[in-house]
Amino acid sequence: MSSTHRALERRPLLWTAAIAVPIIAGAAILVPMTASGAVDLPDKTAAELIAFAEASDVDALSGTIVQTSELGLPDLGALTDSMGGSTEGDSTGAADIDDLISLVTGSHTAKVYLDGESARLQVLDRLGERNVYVDGDAEQIWFVDSETQTATKLTLPSEAELDALHSEAQPDAAPARPDAEGALPTPDDMLDQALARLDESTEVTVGADARVAGRDVYELILAPRTTDTLVGELRFAIDGETGAAVAASVTARGASEPAFEIAFTQVDFTAPDPSVFAFEPGADITITEKDLALPTSRPDQDDTTTDASAPVVIGEGWSAVAVLPSSSEASGQNVFAGLDPEQLAMLATVTTAVDGGRVLQTSLITVLITDDGRVLVGAVPASRLVEAAQTGL
């Protein structure tokens, strides 16, 4: 199974943006994963099921995926209203924020196609149709938005460039390059991430056999051993024939229903027709071209210099906290002191005051903005972020 490489960013396509902290999640909403007496797969222990999933070599499939989020976010209407009124005659800010909120709440449907070096994600929901075309052979990715009639062509570094960069930085390691499998959000990709982070902090069990998207599946359950996290459990539906995950879910601690879900409602493990990966922009499409540039300098393995702007991780496992340092402009200043009354009122509608800052709380993710401008994020209670901000532990 392939690892996930997140080298690309584009707001309208981050339909799984809620998975930005140490939570790997998803599941079925139209095909809920329930035990089925008609399904009786050969018994596997937890270790055997993990090995079965890790040995999966599926690199071609097509299907329909549904993602839903019920994170318990506060009403963010005031935020979009404020953005819309911030610039006379320009509602771009409001549209951006509204799109982002829509992407991490509610449900979304997409068609997914994978075939070795090629991939396509076709998002079909109220935000309009958007497509991502990944062409590994041509070393390019297209982002296409049918609503705005725009397309961005991103050219990737060549294999030779990546080989040269990586061989100088780490001569004994294989070059890291995004591939089609893992470039798009699927339950299998999320299972890859979960298994890569699996350690003694997680209890692993096997659930009941079930059916998802017409497939007989095993159920793998991952549960934190610590109570110092908002996550209650992760469940993955693993196809009994291929070992690929076809559904997954994450449930908040103490909750009975998943807070974030993604699953196939239909899946076919044969190679898609090559025509689905072809994209030729029409004359009415506005095209922007960008190159994904390589670093201008190569890291020295003996260099202990750290990037002051890079996030710092405090703690380990499920209770880990990511800390984004304040900008140089905000350093030593109270970031809330410069806000006008309207902005403060808007902020108060979506956050709660705590010692040393303000907190945005969801069922799975907590964000703390400190008075001095730092941002702390974790799948932990607010008290854990406050403690981390004050003590660095």
Instruction: Please report the pLDDT score of residue 75 as a whole number.
Output: 57
Instruction: Please report the pLDDT score of residue 30 as a whole number.
Output: 36
Pairing of strands 150-155, 286-291: parallel
C-alpha torsion sign, points 343, 345, 348, 353: positive
Instruction: Please report the pLDDT score of residue 45 as a whole number.
Output: 97
Of 290, 293, 323, residue with least CA distance to 308: 323
The C-alpha atoms of residue 167 and residue 172 are separated, in whole angstroms, by: 7
Q: Record the tokens describing residue 187, joined without a space.
A: 């339950």
| Terminal-to-terminal C-alpha distance of the chain | 35
Of 366, 372, 385, residue with least CA distance to 327: 372
Q: At what angle do helices 187-196 and 46-54 cross, to 10 degrees?
A: 120
**Domains in the chain, start-ordered, CATH in brackets?**
11-70+105-291 (2.50.20.10), 312-391 (3.30.310)
pLDDT in tens, the chain (393 residues): 433 233 223 222 222 322 333 333 333 233 445 555 578 899 999 999 999 999 999 999 999 999 888 887 665 555 445 444 444 444 444 444 444 455 556 788 899 999 988 999 998 866 578 899 988 776 788 999 888 899 999 887 766 655 665 555 544 444 444 444 444 568 998 899 899 989 999 999 999 999 999 999 999 999 999 999 999 999 999 999 999 999 999 999 999 999 989 999 999 999 999 999 999 899 999 999 988 765 554 444 444 445 556 788 999 899 999 998 876 555 567 888 888 888 888 888 889 999 999 999 989 999 999 998 899 999 999 999 999 999 988
SS3 string, the chain, reads CCCCCCCCCCHHHCCCCCCCCCCCCCCCCCCCCCECCCCCCCCCCHHHHHHHHHCCCCCEEEEEEEEEECCCCCCCHHHHHHHHCCECCECHHHHHHHHHHHHCCEEEEEEEEEECCEEEEEEECCCCCEEEEEECCCCEEEEEECCCCEEEEEECCCHHHHHHHHHHHCCCCCCCCCCCCCCCCCHHHHHHHHHHCCCCCEEEEECCCEEECCEEEEEEEEEECCCCCCEEEEEEEEECCCCCEEEEEEEECCCCCCCEEEEEEEEECCCCCHHHHCCCCCCCCEEEEEECCCCCCCCCCCCCCCCCCCCEEECCHHHCEEEECCCCCCCCCCCCCCCCHHHHHHHHHHCEEECCEEEEECCCCEEEEECCCCEEEECCCHHHHHHHHHHCC
State the residue for tokens 């072809």: 278
Q: How far is CA 71 from CA 24, 47, 245, 252, in A?
A: 14, 31, 23, 9
Chain centre to alpha carbon of residue 244: 18
pTM (whole model) above 0.85: no
